Structure 1
């Protein structure tokens, strides 16, 4: 659990007792490659911190085309945030691209920790702010960058991702067909 503590301590300082108390609000979940963590129309009661493994969140449109919204690897958080915060049904599927171990934090426990510990509320606010910034950058990139630019940004930001997932998954994430991505590689 040292990794989770280090993750929190990137933003806030914690005593041993404070971290033990925070940790007591988490549960552990292990999933195999190809298992779903969340499926469309599920109730979503937890946010998940990735201890080990790799997941993807995706949206399937009315034409049955999958659009990858987010990856989550070690030390990242993932859930269907709309469903989690508004207590509505999931619109995303979240599935494991590798065998995965997660620490699960229920909505109720997150709210309890934030209410009891200003430090924890500060941590989650800073994490949310970083997430909003990353989402804006991704949206702007999808709207304005060409395929090559999107590919190069992803490669620069997450080089080890390319060893962990197929080119088909990379293509879906940057919003192009596998064929378009292959043509890019052959140039």
Structure 2
């Protein structure tokens, strides 16, 4: 829970007493490599704060093609957010690539935290704003960036993943072939 406290304090100063109450709204879950936290059609009960491990957030289209939206690692948040906030069934998957641990937060507890602690409402607003900005930049890069630019941005955002996950997944995330990634990676 110390990682969560530090993470929150980077945005919203909270004291120890406040954190003692805040942490009661989270549950801890250990996750094995290959385990799915979420599959298409599931009820989306949580958003997750990554304590450890590496996770892949993706969807599969009608032709069974997989599209990776995000890799999540320590101190990142993840969920199928459209389904989480709208309380609809999942359209995405979350798979654990490297064994780890996450904190689970329900929408109801998120709302309670935001209502009870203005500091948490501010924290969640800043996190959502930053996530939205990152999403728009990723879309812009996918639409108009060169493979080299996409690779450089990936290396900046995920410097430790290059050695930890298969190159096939990195290529998929970047929207390039495995061969193109090999040329960029040299």
TM-score between the two structures when normalised by the length of structure 1 = 0.96
1:184 matched residue in structure 2: 184
Three-state SS of the structure 2 residue aligned to 1:74 is coil
Deviations 1:131-183 (A, max 9, x none): 00000000000000111110111112321111111110100111122233224
- Asked whether the equivalents of residues 151 and 184 of structure 2 are also in contact (C-alpha less than 8 Å), the reply is no
2-structure distance, mates of 1:55, 1:139: 20
Indicate the residue corresponding to 1:154 in structure 2.
Answer: 154
> Which residue pairs with 1:72 in the alignment?
72
Secondary structure of the 2:74 match is: coil
Residues 1:138 and 2:138 are matched in the alignment: yes
Distance 1:185 1:107 in 2: 40
- Distance in 2 (CA, whole Å) between partners of 1:72 and 1:137 is 17
Separation of aligned partners in 1, 2:27 and 2:124: 18
Residue 84 of structure 1 is matched in structure 2 by 84
* Distance in 2 of aligned mates of 1:154 and 1:182: 14
Structure 1 portions without partners, runs of 5+: none
Residue of structure 2 in register with 1:56 after alignment: 56
Taking structure 2 as the reference length, the TM-score comes to 0.97
Note the residue ranges of structure 2 that are not aligned, 5 or more in a row: none
Report runs of 4+ in structure 1 exceeding 6 Å deviation.
none
Tell me the SS of whatever aligns to 2:29: strand
What is the CA–CA distance in structure 2 between the aligned matches of 1:116 and 1:169, rounded to whole Å?
41
Kindly provide the CA deviation profile for residues 52-81 of structure 1, in whole angstroms up to 9, marking residues without a partner as x: 101010011111111100111001111100
Question: Aligned equivalents of 1:185 and 1:15: distance in 2?
Answer: 45
Q: What is the 5 A alignment of 1:24-43?
A: 24-43=24-43
Distance 1:185 1:10, change over 3 A: closer
User: Does the residue aligned with 2:141 lie in a helix, a strand or coil?
Assistant: helix
Tell me how far apart the structure 2 counterparts of residues 184 and 108 of structure 1 sit (CA, whole Å). 44
> Once superposed, what is the RMSD of the aligned Cα atoms?
1.0
Counterpart CA distance in 2 for 1:42 and 1:12 is 33
Aligned to 1:111: 111
Deviates more, 1:123-132 or 1:143-152: 143-152
State the Cα deviation string for residues 71-118 of structure 1 (Å, max 9, x = none).
110011111001100011111110000112011111111011111111
